[in-house]
Amino acid sequence: MGDNMLGTIKIDEIYETKITALENEGKGVCKVGGMIVFVPKTLPGEKVRIRITEIKKNFARGKIVEILNPSPKRLESKCPYYDECGGCNLRHQSTSENLIFKKEKVENALKRIGKIDAKVDDVIPSLKDDNYRNKVSFKVENDNIGFYREGTYQLINIDYCLLVENEINDELVVVKRYLSNNENSIKTVTIKHSNAMSEILIDIYSLNDKDIKILDYLLTNIDDLKTVIFNDKVVYGNGYISQISNGLMFNCSAKSFFQINSNSAEKLYSIAIKLANLNKKDIVLDLYCGTGTITSIVAGHAKKVIGIEIVEEAVLNAKENLKINNINNVQFICGDAAKEITKIKERIDVIFLDPPRKGVDRKAIAVMKKLLPKKIIYISCNPVTMARDLSYLSDLYEVKKVIPVDMFPNTAHVECVTLLEKK
């Protein structure tokens, strides 16, 4: 049956079709010759001409050639690179539509994947729709710097990015000027900007150690440069910058994770703590704790917090952060969450989870059920894996509250805080 379907649809052919829905990542969904096709940067109801770019077994991918009937909800993108660049994918959608899409995305994941019938709150909007990212990784080829075209390794050369904080765009100009005047083998340049003292961290990866000569240029041309890392070695400064969140100060190195939208992160953590409704007798476990942001913020509300994290550098940062903030009721454990959680002997009252996109390890879920805390606060950047994990917990826990937070305007990504209570 599959082969017959393929007979009706060919790569590089142009077809006229109608977009019926948006899938999880915000791409338009349509049918051509009985086959489902995903088309980026389209909206439901639009009649389009598309070119087929890829054919898989059960679906195909396409690219807009022409929009014949644009949706009345379509916006003109403010970004000159938007048609080419894969950096963000929903600029053609208004903020209000974007928030509706994100809420529905969470609802669909819970129902279809988790088989969970829970009310999802309206998405809490971001304070800014643009210039909100405090970190970005640019790709480099010779004197070009920017992002890849969606789904390819073709570099789109850019002069500024609307998603990132203005300070990062300023430094991009400096780096770009250096690249255009110097032969180099640099591959990536990551820039982080801190909200504490407006400090800049630049992390460079190059195929040639001679490219270290960029350091002098950066030092001469960037006023707030706090630290530079070159091929994983700190070559200037002490290796980190300072971020403030929820009244506490955090040291962040190049590799350690910190939420990229500082304002929305504060909202996210405040909601998580409010939902946990902690008291001073509670012992809290923070799995996947990173540099200990949640661990440190929770510490002021609980008797003791234990944080587990696999990245060694993040744990070193986390311990430093305790000193900076004068916190003394936290214990950090460096290791794999699924293994380390089995060693916990204490009574755990509340578990905070903020796992990577792939969700929580099945073994860790099994041990969480043995620890049987009265509440679990699950913070997620991926509603699909969150829904799956909640279904594994649904025999013992009830989903009481689901609050999506918009950390990533103009994209399909959404963060979520969920409260689970023991049945």
- Does an H or E element contain 327, and which? none
User: Torsion angle, CA of 263/264/266/270, rounded to 10 degrees?
Assistant: 150
Nearest to 171 by CA among 183, 161, 186, 184: 161
Return d(Cα 68, Cα 75) in angstroms, integer: 15
- Does an H or E element contain 36, and which? strand 35-39
Q: Does residue 161 carry a catalytic annotation?
A: no
**Which long-range contacts (C-beta less than 8 Å, at least 24 apart) are formed by 287-290?**
287/337, 287/341, 287/351, 287/352, 287/353, 287/354, 287/355, 287/360, 287/364, 288/337, 288/353, 288/354, 288/355, 288/356, 289/314, 289/318, 289/332, 289/354, 290/256, 290/257, 290/258, 290/314, 290/318, 290/354
Which CA distances in Å does 362 have to 358, 368, 388, 400? 11, 10, 10, 22
Q: Which two tokens stand for residue 160?
A: 């500024």
Contact 60, 39 (CB under 8 A): no
| Residue 228 burial (CB count, 10 A) | 23
Return d(Cα 367, Cα 394) in angstroms, integer: 15
Q: Strand (E) positions, 267-374?
A: 283-287, 304-309, 330-334, 350-353
Return d(Cα 332, Cα 114) in angstroms, integer: 31
Return d(Cα 44, Cα 111) in angstroms, integer: 21
Contact 236, 225 (CB under 8 A): yes
> For 149-160, b where at least 16 C-beta lie within 10 A, e where not — what string?
bbeeeebbbbeb
Q: Could you tell me how many helices (H) and strands (E) the chain has, helices first?
A: 10, 22
- Residue of 79, 88, 381, 416 marked catalytic: 381
Q: Name the burial class of residue 293, with classes exposed (0-12), middle (13-18) and buried (19+) by CB atoms within 10 angstroms of its CB.
A: buried
Q: Give the three-class secondary structure for 331.
A: strand
Q: Which two tokens stand for residue 248?
A: 């506490």
Q: Are strands 415-422 and 14-18 parallel, antiparallel or unpaired?
A: unpaired
For the annotated catalytic residues, the residue numbers are 381
